[in-house]
Amino acid sequence: MSDNTLNNLPDGFKGMSHDMSSDQTAFKGVQWGKVMMWIFLLSDTFIFSCFLISYMKGRASTVVDWPNTSQVFSLHVGDVPVPLLLIAIMTFVLITSSGTMALAVKFGYEKNRKMCAWLILATAIGGLTFVGMQAFEWSKLIHEGVRPWENPFGAKQFGSFFFMITGFHGTHVSIGVIFLFIFARKTFRGDFDTGKRGYFTTMKSNYVAIEILGLYWHFVDLVWVFIFAFFYLW
Amino acid sequence: MDETQNKEQANSTHKIGIYLWIWGLLFVLSFFSYMVDWFAFQGLLRWSLILVFMFLKAGLIMAFFMHLFWERYALVNVLLWPMTAIACFIALMAAEAQYTVFTRLLYFFIGG
């Protein structure tokens, strides 16, 4: 076995054909939970793509003018409407939380329990802030008369795409926040150092779990990059 | 399992500087894409700038925050090739949207 460690395997495409045609595992050096998370994220990519593609199709095929998102999502600072301000703040908050998550994964692997736990907690609070601002945005738009079937700004399809896409993304963020709080508690308690077994699994806890949670969280940020570009900026 | 263990120990911690750099770049790129709206660029310039900043941000997040840059090609290729199916779907639906809007203009306004 010793001559078959990862460092001795070929890299690049040669490595890919080697891994794919080898025994036991195709994804060498990747813990199975991580592969499962990646496959889930791949399927999630397809779901979000379907939403965004249907949005593209709806917006491109309507003969009514599309609402000017720059104005619809503007926020008043004093008396001056600043275009897209809330969305910009939400973007920065989500990127900040993505950064703290990346550092949490790093400190987790270094077995720096305290730093890791505080960073996960910071990520969770960032996510919570994001969801809170999204709730504010939703209630503001609903108050202004935006519904899935109509809105005062332009094409009727706008409302349904807005609530569907941002709602589905917000659901992902909310689920992520719940898991981040659970993982922050587990990390503070030292589950990943002692290898304590979880509620739903007989497997021992391991810091890999934090990277897997991190993958999910970065994916949520990744989807927001596309929503921000296509829905808010386009 | 031997292989898994070795990989985790060898590759999973990277210098903190990498993360901070990517973090900073993401902030800068987000700021730029907000500026696209701020200066109200229109038309082709607006769309191309939005796409460039979007793909740069997505690439940085996937490559470094999600560690794909350090993963073996077996995983990277399994994850990235399905995106071509999405690209095909986008092309199909863009063509379909053109046709839909054409028929709508024809029947709603010109009257068949």
Chain B positions in Cβ-Cβ contact with residue A211 (cut-off 8 Å)? 12, 67
Determine contact: B74 vs chain A, CB below 8 A. yes
Tens of pLDDT, residues A21-66: 888 788 888 888 999 999 999 999 999 999 999 999 999 999 999 9
For the segment A71-92, the average pLDDT, to the nearest whole number, is 88
ipTM of the complex: 0.89
Residues of chain B found within 8 Å of residue A88, distances taken between Cβ atoms: 30, 34
Question: Are the beta carbons of B34 and A226 separated by less than 8 Å?
Answer: no
- The domain locations on chain B are 2-71, 82-112
Which residues does chain B have within 8 Å of residue A12's beta carbon, measured at their own beta carbons? 73
The pLDDT value recorded for residue A82 is: 87
Contacts of A234 (CB under 8 A, 6+ apart): A69, B47, B50
Question: In this complex, do A53 and B105 lie within 8 Å of one another by their Cβ atoms?
Answer: no
Identify the burial level of B17 via C-beta atoms within 10 angstroms of its C-beta, where 0-12 means exposed, 13-18 middle and 19 or more buried. exposed
- What does the domain layout of chain A look like in residue ranges? 1-30, 31-233
Amino acid at A177: V
Q: What mean pLDDT value characterizes chain A?
A: 91
Contact B51 A42 (CB under 8 A): no
CB contact under 8 A, A29 and B105: no
**Most confident stretch, A73-87, B9-23, B24-38:** B24-38
Chain B residues lying within 8 Å of A56, measured CB to CB: 90, 93-94, 97
pLDDT digits (tens, 9 = 90+) for A38-47: 999 999 999 9
**Residue B6 pLDDT greater than 80, yes or no:** no
pLDDT at A3: 52
**Chain A residues with beta carbon closer than 8 angstroms to that of B64:** 102
B14, B50, B67 ranked by CB distance to A234: nearest: B50
Measured distance CA(A84)–CA(B13) in Å, rounded: 37
**Nearest C-alpha neighbor of B37 from the set A62, A226, A73:** A73
| Cβ pairs A/B, distance under 8 A | 180
Q: What are phi and psi of A39, to 5 degrees?
A: -70, -40
Q: Which CATH architecture has domain A31-233?
A: Up-down Bundle (1.20)
Q: pLDDT exceeding 90 applies to what percent of chain A?
A: 68
Q: Do B30 and A88 touch (CB under 8 A)?
A: yes
Q: Is B44 part of the contact surface with chain A (CB cutoff 8 Å)?
A: no
CB contact under 8 A, B19 and A226: no
Measured distance CA(B68)–CA(A110) in Å, rounded: 19
Distance CA A222, CA A173 (A): 12
Tokens of A134: 């999204």
* pLDDT tens digits along A132-169: 999 999 999 999 999 999 999 999 999 999 999 999 99
Decide if B22 touches A, using CB distance below 8 A: yes
Q: Residue A77 is inside which H or E element, if any?
A: strand A75-77
Average the pLDDT over B25-47 and give the result: 92
pLDDT at B1: 42
Greatest extent of chain A over all pairs of C-alpha atoms, in Å? 71
Distance CA A119, CA A101 (A): 6
Q: Which residues from A are below 8 Å from B33, CB to CB?
A: 228-229, 233
Question: Which candidate from B65, B79, B90 shows the least CB-CB separation from A102?
Answer: B65
Residue B63 has pLDDT above 90, yes or no: yes
pLDDT score at A4: 58
Decide if pLDDT at B112 tops 60. Answer: yes
Maximal C-alpha separation, chain B: 71
Q: Which of A15, A53, A219 sits opposite B89 (nearest CB)?
A: A53
Q: What is the predicted pLDDT for the residue at A39?
A: 95
Average pLDDT over residues A106-121: 94
Between CA A130 and CA B109 the distance in angstroms is: 43
What percent of chain B is modeled with pLDDT above 70? 88
Asked if residues A29 and A8 have their Cβ atoms less than 8 Å apart, the reply is: no
Across the strands, what pairs with A88?
none
* Closest residue in B to A232 (Cα–Cα): B37
Contact between chains at A57 and B101 (C-beta distance less than 8 A)? no
